[in-house]
Amino acid sequence: MLGPAMAAITEQEARRLWKEADAVCFDVDSTVIKEEGCDELARFLGKAEEVAELTRLSMGGALDLRHAVRRTLAVLAPSRRDIVRFLGERRLRLSPAARTRRAMSGAMEFREALRLRLELLRPSHADVSRFTSQLPLSVSPAISELVQKLHSRRVKVFLVSGGFHCLIRPVAAALNIPAENITANKLLFDFFGNYAGFDESQPTSASGGKARALQRLIDEHKLRCLAMVGDGATDLEAAPPAHVFIGYGGNVVRPKVQEAAPWFVHHFQELIDALSESG
């Protein structure tokens, strides 16, 4: 939930801070892209139903995310080859008609949810490679134009996600966002490419991790005004340290996020237009 200072921000103030931001952090799943990456990987590996239920629990706030991720990967167990193939077949689609299906509502502890999902999936390196090579991930309408607009204003753009770094890299590349600007969970594989867990040192593997990740960005880049844009509860709780939170409901509107956000948009074009507003 937003802190007291953030809760007092009006939409007018949020719009002003958006225009003054020297950096913007975007959530990825159901925000930058229309899919939930882990759910898509699960579907690719034939384990969609089991993982979708865990996703619903984790996004609703009932289960610790790291535990959920572990259980999810245990089910998938994607190999390095699977991931490469998946990335190749899921070539990024920048379709303006893309619509998101899911968003986070904040009921499950993030790390618990992460652990559970990964234990279900147990994706090998081959699984992930196969997934990324075969199935395209679709970006949300106008996100490409928005990122381009921000870059033209010399605004730093970061992707901060509870998803997996290996699945996000192709999306970042398509949007001209440097790989070093991604903060996300990292899968671990053994010598043979079998699933060996996930890096629990990553801040985004735990509840409250996005807030810690954003604070680190603020400190490292000496940011004076950082905006967080996302669809879910974990994005909402990252403000503060984010100086302003903007809720995104391009396809699925989560009442908890919509009610708490000082400014809530349904299309990224609204954020593009706001950058050109006078006053």
Tokens of 210: 């996005």
From residue 42, give the alpha-carbon distance in Å to each of 20, 50, 74, 108, 251.
Answer: 40, 8, 11, 19, 21
Tokens of 71: 């259980």
Query: What contacts 148, CB < 8 A, 6 or more positions away?
Result: 176
Active site residue 64: no
Which amino acid does the sequence have at 41? L
Active site residue 27: yes
Dihedral in degrees, nearest 10, Cα atoms 241, 20, 32, 99? 120
- 60: exposed, middle or buried (Cβ count in 10 Å: 0-12, 13-18, 19+): middle
Q: Which of 22, 29, 39, 190 is catalytic?
A: 29
Is-contact 33 166, C-beta < 8 A? no
Residues 177 and 159: their CA atoms lie apart, in Å, by 8
Which amino acid does the sequence have at 63? L
Dihedral in degrees, nearest 10, Cα atoms 263, 266, 267, 272? -10
Sign of CA dihedral 7, 10, 15, 17: negative
Sign of CA dihedral 52, 146, 229, 112: positive
Q: Which of 22, 27, 82, 235 is catalytic?
A: 27
Active site residues: 27, 29
